Copies of this chain bind each other. A is one copy, B any other.
Amino acid sequence: MNSFSVTILGSSSALPTSRRFPTSQVVRLDEQLFMIDCGEGAQMQLRKMKFKIGRINHIFISHLHGDHIYGLPGLISSMALYGKKGELHIHAHSDLQQMMEGMMKFMNDLSELKVKYHPLNFRRNSVIYEDKKIKVTSFPLKHRISCCGFHFQELPSDLHLDKQALVRYEIPVSQRLNIKSGADLVLSDGTVIPNSEITIPARPPRSYAFCTDTIFIDEIIPIIEGVDLLYHEATFAADLKDLAKKTFHATSVQAAEIARLAHVKKLLIGHFSSRYKDVTPLVIEARTIFPETYAANDGDCIEL
């Protein structure tokens, strides 16, 4: 089975702590690396965790608050110094390009590395990346400024041919590819053998959803329904519900409630306020609602 994993580069909220860097993650599908958000120090974390930064071709930026973007100038600069060539695609609010311009002024030669900015749609769900293996969809969250979550959906693998059927029906090589894609088998006498009788279902595709920064909003439930892993912000413990609402953040219990309503398999909470030296109480109270809750820590790698 191919590898599909999420690595936490940073899990603090706006103020980093001695153990948590600002928000940034790597989603890995086999050799492809996707990055979500790029808080200050993301390139140091990437290096520490032995990722090859040249393999990152797409960066998805949830919103333009500093703790989600201040690592971009340094990362791009280092990519250029490492000799990365081709295109780097940054999916973000359309203001980002202008915000970056000043900081790019004295950047090393970028003639070989083209940075392409793709504006996100903050009003409706939008497919923002797709290849043979994976589809990435952005969806609106609700924060103080425009903000998007991201849904990573592995695409279904081909069906497997049943070995016994292969022999029994002497399935010709020319038809095998179509059958793997779902076609029925038509014998020379015109008999139709349904696909389900000659194939074995592929492993169910895996999925991941990233939701930060946001207040509790149940509009996101249809898109994150049933994901294998949900990362949802839990900036505050439940007793600071009012502060969470005022600052457009969520509590650990609200994150758990979303996970429960969306029937996700596992919940990872993060984006913790620097006031929590130990986030165990946030996990404990979340587990009263959704038992499969875990705290994100810098360096964690969760295999889906």
Contact = CB atoms under 8 A, between A and B. Distances in A.
Given A18-B44, A66-B106, 20 more contacts: A14-B108, A15-B82, A16-B44, A17-B47, A18-B47, A40-B43, A40-B73, A41-B41, A41-B44, A64-B105, A64-B106, A65-B106, A66-B77, A66-B103, A67-B74, A70-B74, A100-B102, A101-B102, A103-B103, A106-B145
Given A66-B73, A70-B74, A106-B64, A81 B47 contact: no
A47 B98 CA distance: 30
29 contacts: A14-B78, A14-B81, A14-B108, A15-B78, A15-B81, A15-B82, A16-B47, A16-B78, A18-B48, A21-B44, A40-B43, A40-B44, A40-B70, A40-B71, A40-B73, A40-B74, A41-B41, A64-B105, A64-B106, A66-B106, A66-B107, A67-B77, A95-B105, A99-B102, A99-B103, A100-B103, A101-B102, A102-B102, A106-B145
Interface string A98-123: 11111101111000000000000000
A223 to B, nearest CB: 26
The copy count of this chain in the complex is 2
A43 B16 CA distance: 8
Contacts of A71: 40
B70 A103 contact: yes
B77 A14 contact: yes
Interface residues of A, number: 37
Nearest to A68: B106
Contacts of A40: 40-41, 43-44, 70-71, 73-74
Nearest to A73: B70
Contact of A98 (B15, B102, B107): B102
Contacts of A108: 14
A81 B99 CA distance: 21
Q: Which of A15, A16, A64, A103 has the most CB of B within 10 A?
A: A103
